[in-house]
Each structure stands twice: as structure tokens, then as C-alpha cells.
Amino acid sequence: MITDFVDRRRLLFSNFVLIAGIAMLAFTLVATLGTQCAQAASGSCSVGDSETLTSNIIINEDGDDADSRIEGDTDANLVYVDAGNDRVGIGTSTPATLFEVDGAATFATVGVGAVSDPLSQFNLNPTFSATTPVVFLLEGAITSTDDGGAPKFAQFGASGASITTAFSGADTVARISTLELFEPNITLGATGGQDVVTSAQTLYVGDAPTEATAGGNHAISMPSGAFNVSDGQGTSGEQLTSGGQDANVTWTSAASIRSSKRNITPNSGSTDALQKMIDAQVYNFKYKPTTWKTVTQTDRKGNVYEVRIPVDRVPSTGDFDTTYVGIMADEVPWAMHYNGTVLNPINTFGYTVLAIQELNALIEDLDARIAVLEGR
């Protein structure tokens, strides 16, 4: 029980000291945390093992060059925000682009740019400008460690892939494809004069590899019966033929129907076909294989690599081992076409028929003379 003024003053002083101590402790805790997290602009700010946050979080609201990092159990850079370069890295502290993942990643749906088709699980629709713009670039180096493996950079329609139609009735599917390519919409610029495109392709395939055994190197390879050209042009019996370097491949054949021909006139047989065939020298020969050279090229990133290009490729059957029996184009121009370099089967057959007819006429003439001599 307080009995005098002195006791009251002592009690008030004790309470004041207690309250001041609590206030100083609270101030010290707040100041310590504030100082600790204020160091984020130039150092680091660590949060305890478990924190519950019930409001929005803004990191680096002042836009300082202050990186942020979230560690994983074994990855110190599980999530890394490079504030100075405005980049985000997953598994890397040095992202080279806006978003970079160093490791395997799984996405249920990927959209890049203004995604126009919500049914596409991988949709690229970018809009950008560059010296040599490439929408999808596949680079790198892969190594096969399995004897008899089949390494590849990309594969579409693997053995486990499937397409199933699931309509309510017997509906018609317009087309099912593993991969479709359509003509690009090309717009030529006109700044300082209309631009000129030297070559344009929907699909471009470079040179074939050369490391396989003989006959196993192809730029494009398909199993038997897997090639179909539905251009509405070719007919049965025609084949695709090149018109020369950088020329279009067109349908051709040694057509014999009258409707395919013009300027039709009967041959009188005065072509000396028999003598032409008698005079033709026949040779045994093999075709020359194509020789190659290796040149060094540099891509748009400055990477240097080697490319093998043909040096003196010449037309041939592609069979460089068989010994052929035939003629030389420069000696029998009447049997050639395509600028006098390729055997003309139509002329060859026509001259053969004329030669046989001439030979038959000679035989008939000899028979008549023999009959006179024998008194028949």
C-alpha cells in the first residue's frame, strides 16, 4: 500500500522505465529489419525460414540496379532477376535474354507473341525486326551415346504420337498431316528502289551429309511410296525434271500421243539414219563421281563452321561403278536434247526405226536383184 508521496514517485518512475524499455526494444527491432532490407539496393536482404505475407509485394519499386534471387534446395539460382539488364533466369544468374531457362522445362501450352489460336499448344506469332530475323532457331551440339541410336535435332510424329478423330458421326476430315508448310507472305520493300529477292522457298534443304556409307547420303530421304506431288499438273508416266541450275522442276515425259505434238510432218526417210547409226562410235565408260571441297563460312552470330560444296558436278545416272556401253553426245548430236547433253529417247527410237526401214529397203532391193539373176 502506497503511504507517501515518495513511494508514488518511485512507482511512476519504475513504470516509465518499463514502458521506455519496451519502446526501445520495439524500435530496435523495427530499425534492424528496416536497415537490413534497405540494404537490398546495394547488398542483400534475407527473410527468415517461414514468413506469411497477406498483401501485395513490390520488389525494387524504385527501379534500382538491385538483383533478386530465390534459392532452391540444390540450385542457388533457382529464380534470378537481373534488374540491371531487365532479365529473368531460371537456373542461371546470367540470363542472356528476357527469359532464359538453364535446364529441362515442361509447358502444357506455349504462346509467343499475339497468340491467335487458343487451340494450339505451341503458338509462335512474333513481330520483330533484325538484320537476319529468324523466328525459330535450332542450334547447339548433341551427342549420341547409344550404339545404333538415331540422333536428330528435331522429330515430328514419333512412334508414340497419334492423331485420333472423335466426332459424333461419320464426319469428314479434310486433311491430317504430321507437318504442313505454306507459302510465306512476302512483301518487298521499296525504300530507295524496289528490293529484289534472288531466291525464295517455302522449304529450303541444304547439302546432303557425306559421312554415311556409299548410297546412304541424302538431303531428303523417304521410304518407297511415300512421295506424292499433288500440284494438279503431273500425269501417269511423267517424271519431275530439272530445267538446270536454279530452274524450276517440271513434269516431263517422252510423250508419244498425237495430242502432245505440233508441226507434225511425215519423215520421208531421207535422213541417212542408217549411215548415222553406222558411223556412231560406241564406247565403254564409267560416270565421273562428283568431287567436293570444304569451305569455311561464318553465320550471323560469328560462329565459324565448315561446309562441303560440289566442285565439278556433272549430269550422270548416279551410278559410278557400272561400266556402261554407249555413245558420246558431241559425236551424235542428232540423238541428244537439253542443249546437246542428255540422250533424247524419242529421236534415238525414231532414227532406229528409220535405219531399220532403210535396211529393209536395201534387203528388198537385193532380193529383187538376186531374183533377176536366178531367172525367177
DSSP for 76-89 reads TTSEEEETTTTEEE
* Three-point CA angle 107, 113, 117, nearest 5°: 70
> pLDDT per residue over 66-76, tens digit each?
898 999 999 99
CA dist., res. 301 & res. 131, Å (int): 11
Q: Is 247 exposed, middle or buried (0-12, 13-18, 19+ CB in 10 A)?
A: exposed
Q: What is the pLDDT of residue 36?
A: 47
- Predicted TM-score (pTM) of the model is 0.49
Is the model's pLDDT at 195 over the cut of 60? yes
- 97-106, 212-221, 270-279, 289-298: range with lowest mean pLDDT: 212-221
Percent of the chain predicted with pLDDT > 90: 21
Q: What is the pLDDT of residue 41?
A: 43
Amino acid at 188: L
Any residues with CB less than 8 A from the CB of 68 and at least 6 apart, and which? 59, 60, 80, 81, 83
> pLDDT per residue over 281-299, tens digit each?
999 999 988 887 888 877 6
Q: What is the pLDDT of residue 368?
A: 92
Question: Cβ of 261: how many Cβ atoms within 10 Å?
Answer: 9
Nearest to 316 by CA among 288, 355, 295: 288
pLDDT interval class at 113 (50, 70, 90): low
C-alpha grid cell, residue 79: 529464380
Nearest to 184 by CA among 170, 197, 166: 197
Between these two residues, 109 and 199, which has the higher pLDDT value?
Answer: 199
> pLDDT per residue over 118-156, tens digit each?
556 677 777 778 777 887 877 778 888 877 777 888 877
C-alpha grid cell, residue 350: 525414231
Q: What is the pLDDT of residue 94?
A: 92
Sign of CA dihedral 342, 346, 347, 349: positive
> pLDDT per residue over 202-249, tens digit each?
888 877 777 777 667 788 887 766 677 776 677 777 777 777 766 777
